[in-house]
């Protein structure tokens, strides 16, 4: 689980650095998109591992979290574009999300889980 946010941060930095050049940006954006979707099965399996008796609720909670993240991402991106930073700063500001998720994962892995 910890490898995903590290890879996302690295790819977002690459996307941000490649933004001024068309073809390197396209390649970096493709790699970022592939990595973004590649983590979904692992995250879904983790949710299912700790689902307890909520067999139907657990996977819907995970997908709901993705939808909330998409909506908030649009709001944050609009604020970045409106700022003096401009559109090329979107990738760098987006790196905050995997940084926060990495911190969350690290704190959750340290807690003992009750076998609910």
Residue 15: its pLDDT value, please? Answer: 93
pTM: 0.73
- Answer yes or no: is pLDDT of 78 > 70: yes
pLDDT-derived band of residue 111, with 50, 70 and 90 as boundaries? low
CA distance linking residue 26 with residue 30, whole number of Å: 6
Domain ranges of the chain: 3-110
Mean predicted confidence (pLDDT) in 56-65:
82
Give me 58's structure tokens. Answer: 């657990």
116 C-beta neighbours (distance < 10 Å), count: 8
Tell me if 64 sits within 8 A of 36, measured CB to CB: no
State the residue for tokens 């139907």: 56
Mean predicted confidence (pLDDT) in 11-24:
92
- Answer yes or no: is pLDDT of 115 > 60: no
Return all residues near 111 (Cβ < 8 A) that are at least 6 apart: none
Identify the DSSP state of 10.
H
Residue 1: its pLDDT value, please? Answer: 65
18-23 long-range Cβ contacts below 8 angstroms, 24+ apart: 19/87, 19/88, 19/91, 20/88
- Answer yes or no: is pLDDT of 37 > 60: yes
Q: What's the half-sphere exposure (Cβ side, CA atoms, 13 Å) at 83? A: 12
């Amino acid at each position: 689980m910890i490898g995903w946010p590290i890879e996302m941060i690295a790819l977002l930095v690459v996307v941000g650095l490649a933004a001024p050049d068309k073809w390197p940006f396209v390649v970096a954006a493709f790699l970022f998109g592939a990595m973004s979707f590649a983590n979904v099965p692992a995250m879904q399996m983790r949710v299912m591992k700790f689902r307890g008796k909520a067999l139907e609720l657990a996977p819907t909670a995970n997908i709901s979290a993705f939808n909330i993240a998409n909506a908030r991402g649009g709001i944050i991106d609009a604020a970045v574009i409106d700022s003096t930073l401009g559109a090329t700063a979107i990738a760098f500001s987006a790196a905050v999300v995997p940084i926060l998720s990495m911190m969350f994962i690290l704190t959750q892995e340290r807690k003992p889980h009750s076998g609910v």
